[in-house]
Amino acid sequence: MDSVGPVGLWQGDGAAQEGLPCLPGSSELVQQCLQQFKVTEAQLRQIQASLLGSMEQALRGQASPVPAVQMLPAYVGSIPHGTEQGDFVVLELGATGASLRVLWVTLTGIEGHRIEPRSKEFVIPQEVLLGPGQQLFDFAARCLAEFLDALPVGSRALQLGFNFSFPCHQTGLDKSTLISWTKGFRCSGVEGRDVVQLLREAVARQGAYSLDVVAVVNDTVGTMMGCEQGARSCEVGLVVDTGTNACYMEEARHVAALDEDRGQVCVSIEWGSFGDDGALGPVLTTFDHTLDQESLNPGAQRFEKMIGGLYLGELVRLVLAHLAQLGVLFGGCTSPALLSPGAFLLEHVAEMEHPSAGAARVHTLLQDLGLSLGASDAECVQRVCAAVCTRAAQLCAAALAAVLTRLQHSREQQTLQIAVATGGRVFERHPRFLSVLQETVKLLAPECDVAFSPSVDGGGRGVAMVTAVAARMAAHRCLLEKTLAPFRLTLKQLAVVQAQMREAMVKGLRGEASSLRMLPTYVRATPDGSERGDFLALDLGGTNFRVLLVHVATGGVQITSQVYSIPECVAQGSGRQLFDHIVDCIVDFQQKQGLGGQSLPLGFTFSFPCRQLGLDQGILLNWTKGFNASDCEGQDVVYLLREAIQRRQAVELNVVAIVNDTVGTMMSCGYEDPRCEVGLIVGTGTNACYMEELQNVAGVAGDSGHMCINMEWGAFGDDGSLGMLSTCFDASVDQASINPGKQRFEKMISGMYLGEIVRHILLHLTSLGVLFRGQQTQRLQTRDIFKTKFLSEIESDSLALRQVRAILEDLGLPLTSDDALIVLEVCQAVSQRAAQLCGAGVAAVVEKIRENRGLEELTVSVGVDGTLYKMHPHFSSLVAATVQKLAPHCAVTFLQSEDGSGKGAALVTAVACRLARLTRV
């Protein structure tokens, strides 16, 4: 099937035109003439591809070659939610030819309840259309005042939406520079100037009313925004009126002109100029060329001149005049009216194509033009109208198919389901335009399921809706900023946290009352690279535990490990049963590795709360993580392990050290970088350790050398010192935790709690109407639904907004693009505060080390482990940036640890063995 016939059905050459009678024995001249208006499927697909290419080129900001369309941001970042309400004034200029319209629009915010707008149309005199720009805007201001005089406005301030339907370069919602006049307007001194400012100046000169011009909107955007709320979101606007244009919601990150990476923005394609570069050459007729040459702007707006209502009647007139001059129509006679530009209007063409009354209207209209019709002339005239208008609908469909394809591909959807708002007199008055458009779109974009929805007064209600949406977004922005303000910490606040932590560190080291326990670990040195040998490591921190063989050699560290499980009956049985099981697993591992009979040094990572009395002494304070083995709490766990080893008489194991996972992290990185003297964990929980001067550690003998201190900094602030930073959301999370009032620093930083903080904020914003249209969902009431891993996914730079929506929808949270943006911003605020507080803590530690050593500048490395630090896309950089600001005299490098609990435990053991050898020497 090669071509589209005049009624929009795909036909081969010579096929009958369904719906209109063929002219028996019609002249070859008529056929030849109308054949020019036939467009093949291949040509339509080429137009679709060419326009899509031009759109993407313009979006990228590629200036050469000059894109055929402009892709202008309209700075409308949201479609209506249905909750918008209030009274708005609308000034409409350029949408209805040589007139302007003023409207009073009331939005109720109640579904299905509409109040008809009041409006008045004012005809613009010809001398104003072609005169100075100030004259036009003063005329508009007078019309506004005259309209409002008839309403009980009083002295209240009014919000105004300005529908300005001409090509503009918009740099803000209320900033728009006219690029060029179209539609017969030629006012001087306006092109290149901000039309909003010109209107504001005119309103000020009028001085009658307080009008705030909130938004400047073209009729296409107004059409999209004026679409009735339905099951599908309306994200495309299509206008075919005097001129033609389309707009759609594009992801802001694709619009180079905006330099934005989040959210959506409405883009006005300005497709009337498509083809000005010659792309439409194959489908242009001699009549198109004539019309273009006789227009006010030859060579420009070529696509619009084939589609827009201002030109369809003129194309029909040119064809009829041509056929009359050839002797095919009207007995070869013309009339002055037929030869006069503008004699045929869109309304005439639509009436003549009417299925039932069309033939009669042809006779009436043409007789009014001084023409006498022959027997078959009426049918021929209808056929000409059908050919011109069908081509217009098909070309429009090809362009719309390009937009739909763009949306489908950018959203990576197999089937795009979307609503397209239509507006303009061609849609309203032409009997077949929409059906031809629909049929052609279905052919060219079969993977797009499109619902066409007539816009409800796009120029009026739609523009009011843009203004209302802007007001809603401004109000919501204010509430959001107020909610998140406590999470946006200043450098001064962070410096206070740093100073408070420093003070708590000193008190804890002295043995004074402090929220930081500052526990000695009896690790007295970090690796120096000379460590050699084979070591065993045991990593116990949950229902699975690991046994590792760590080979430390000149070429680095090699690890062999095996995971063993601890049955629930063992974890909650007797302590003897638990440690016997652990030793059985160690023996099994030794046998599998061929280590029988060897007594290797062993490091024991024991990730439960302990009070260490020596490198190989650790008193279990209490079980956590589902363990409840009897006769262990208050006991030295190394002693319990050694007892179990003795019970297996054939086994020799040398337990050298019990290790905290934070210390293991520092030691693991210390083997790679001798400057690593700080360990940091930011995962489910958080903690830090560092190398302190032994002389500063009360309760441990000795005045020289160093001692690694386990800060247990998760409890920092349990004395109330963080009260000034705690929010109501932190309080809610704390109260719902298993340890209210404890681990306050950890609850503001670590992965176990950040998701819950976010969830409480989302609940609050929903109650304010900022999120989810104010509708509470049971899913959001569910505790721990919002895992911290979702923060990492949502904040990923590589994710488009649609992917953020998908993550949240998978959680059972039906939301709009606006909601997704707000959730993203909440996640960013919570994780940023966490990273900055963590950075303030690290700054306190490195500054303490620097001052301990009396250095002007300190170079130090921090070994880090934990899923939040490693997996969150911005956490690590925010920590580093905060440390740089708060500790400018410290050059801090962050190293990510590999297997701190396994490799680190072995290295603690290796360092202890090295130091023991030195002592013996």
Q: Which residues are catalytically annotated?
A: 546, 607, 661
Q: Which residues pair with 562 in a beta bridge?
A: 547
394 contacts 440 by C-beta, under 8 angstroms:
yes
Residue 744 to residue 742: CA distance in whole angstroms: 5
- Tell me 715's DSSP state: G
SS3 content of the chain, % helix, strand, coil (to 5): 45, 20, 35
What are the phi and psi torsion angles at 253 (to 5°)? Answer: -65, -20
Neighbours of 122 (CB within 10 A): 16
Local structure of 164: helix, strand or coil: strand
Strands 519-520 vs 706-710: parallel, antiparallel or unpaired: antiparallel
**Residue from 415, 414, 413, 404 nearest 438 by CA:** 404
Neighbours of 917 (CB within 10 A): 9
Give residue 453's region: left, alpha or beta (phi > 0; psi -120 to 50). beta
757 contacts 787 by C-beta, under 8 angstroms:
no
CA distances from 753 to 750, 777, 836 (A): 6, 21, 16
Between 195-206 and 133-149, two packed helices, what is the crossing angle to 10 degrees?
Answer: 50
195 contacts 218 by C-beta, under 8 angstroms:
no
Strands 244-251 vs 234-240: parallel, antiparallel or unpaired: antiparallel
Neighbours of 154 (CB within 10 A): 6
Cis peptide preceding 567, ω within 30 of 0: no
Indicate the residue type of 582: I
396 contacts 307 by C-beta, under 8 angstroms:
yes
Tokens encoding 20: 């209109």
SS (H, E, C) 213-228: EEEEECHHHHHHHCCC
Strands 118-123 vs 158-164: parallel, antiparallel or unpaired: unpaired
